[in-house]
Amino acid sequence: MTTPLPRPRPGDRRPTVHCPDRRCVLSAAGGGALEAAVLPVAPLPGANPWGRRGVGREEMTALHRAVAAVRYADSRHGGGNAQAQAAAHLLDQWVRPLLGRPLTEDRQRELCGVGAELARLAGWAALDTGQHSTARHHFDRALYWARAANDPDLIAYILTTAALQATLYGRPSDALALTNGALSAAGHAHARVMGFTKLIEARAHARAGDRRAASAALAAAERLLDKPCPHGTPGWLDFFTRPRLAADAAEIHRDLGDIRACLAWNEQASGMAPNAFTRSVGMRLTVVATAHLKSGDLEQSLALGHRALDILRYVDSGRARDYVRRLAKGLVPHRGLHAVDAFLARLRQEFAPAAHPAPVP
C-alpha cells in the first residue's frame, strides 16, 4: 500500500504564493513564445477560450524548458530566488489553462507530468524558504498531478521529496513511512528513482540514530544507482549522480557520529560543480566543517566554514542558513579565539536577515 499525502479537497484554502514579475517568468520559460501560446487575447464572453486547437510539441518543449530553468535556478540561487518562485505561477497560469484544449491521452499525461513537477518545485522552494505548510500543500498538489499522469516514477519521487522534508525537520518516523510508500508506489520503477528513495531512507535512519538500517539503505542506494539504465534517467532526477550520493552519505555519517567515514565520502563528492549545485555544495561544506569540529580540528572547520560562506553568500535559502547556523552553534564554546570571532562576525554581517541575494543574471 502506498502511504499517500492527503489529496486537496475542493474549497481548501490555498496559501499565499509569491507571484514573480513578468521578466523572471519569461526568463524561466525561455522567452515570450510560451506566453503567446497559452495567454492569448481574452475571448468574447461565452466563447471557448482555446477553440479546437490542441497543444503542440512546440508548447510542450517550451514548458519542459521552463521546468528545467526553474530547477536550475533553485539549485544555483535557492528557493527564495524569483525564478525558483515561478513554479506555482507557471502551473496555475500556463499549464492548467492548456487542459481546456483538445488533448490526446498521451499529451494529457505529459501535461499532467509537467504539472506534477512544477507543483513539486513550488513545494521545494517553499520548503527551502521555511514555509513548511505551504510546501506540504504543493506536495499534495504534485501527488495529485502525478497520479493523473499515471507516472509511478514521479509519484515515488514526490513521496520521497516529502520524506526528505520530514527528515530535515525532525520527523524521521514520518519520513520512513513516506519512503516505504514511495517504494510501494514505484513497483518496477526506474532503478535510480528507487535508489534516490533508498538514499533518503538512509538519511532518515541516520537522523533516528539507527546505524545498521542507515548503512543497509545506503548500500542499496549505491547498488541501484550503479544499475545500467538502458532507457536513460528521468530529466528531473539528473542530479542524482555518484557525487550527489557521496554528499548525502557524508551527512549520513556525520549524523551517525562516524567522522572518518564522513570525511572519506566527502572526498567522493568533490565532483559536484558549485556553479550548478551551489546550494548543495555550500551545505556539504558546512556538514564537513561540523565533522572536523567534532574531531577537534578547529582550523580545518573554520577553513571549510569560510568556503561555505563564500559559496552561499548569494544563495537565498533558509535551509542553507540553517546548516550554517548549526556550524556557528558548534563554534560558540570557542568564542574568544580570534579566528572564531572573525568567522562569527563575518556570518552576522553577510547572513543578516536584511542581506539581499544577488540579482538573477
Under a CB-based contact definition with an 8 Å cutoff, are residues 291 and 327 in contact? no
User: Using CA atoms, how far apart are residues 218 and 248, in angstroms rounded to an integer?
Assistant: 9
pLDDT tens digits for range 283-297: 999 999 999 999 999
What is the rounded CA–CA span in Å between residue 252 and residue 265?
10
Burial letters 154-165, b for 16+ CB under 10 A, else e: bbbbbbbbbbbb
- Max CA separation in the chain (angstroms): 73
Distance CA 148, CA 316 (A): 32
Angle at 59 between CA 43 and CA 77, to 5 degrees: 110
Runs of H (alpha helix) within the chain: 22-29, 33-38, 57-77, 86-90, 96-98, 105-128, 132-148, 152-168, 172-186, 191-207, 211-226, 242-255, 259-268, 278-295, 298-312, 318-331, 338-350
pLDDT of residue 353: 56
Residues 308, 83, 24, 32, CA torsion sign: positive
Cell of 77: 540561487
Angle at 179 between CA 8 and CA 140, to 5 degrees: 10
Half-sphere exposure of 103 (CA within 13 A, CB side): 18
Compute the distance between CA of residue 251 and CA of residue 281 in angstroms, rounded to an integer.
Answer: 12
For residues 209 and 70, what is the distance between their CA atoms, to the nearest angstrom?
Answer: 35
**Among residues 177, 172, 178, which one has the least CA distance to residue 205?**
172
- Taking the C-alpha atoms of residue 155 and residue 149, their distance in angstroms, rounded to an integer, is 9
> Nearest CA to 198 among 217, 214, 211?
217
pLDDT of residue 54: 73
Return the closest-CA partner of residue 25 out of 75, 76, 78, 91. Answer: 91
Q: Which three cell numbers stand for residue 212?
A: 545498521
**Verdict on whether the full-model pTM lies above 0.85:** no
- Which is nearest to 261 in space by CA: 282, 246, 241? 246
Q: Are 167 and 203 in contact (CB under 8 A)?
A: yes
Model confidence over 42-64: pLDDT tens digits?
333 443 344 457 787 888 898 99
Q: Which residues of the chain have pLDDT under 70?
A: 1-52, 188, 352-361
pLDDT given for residue 52 in this prediction: 52
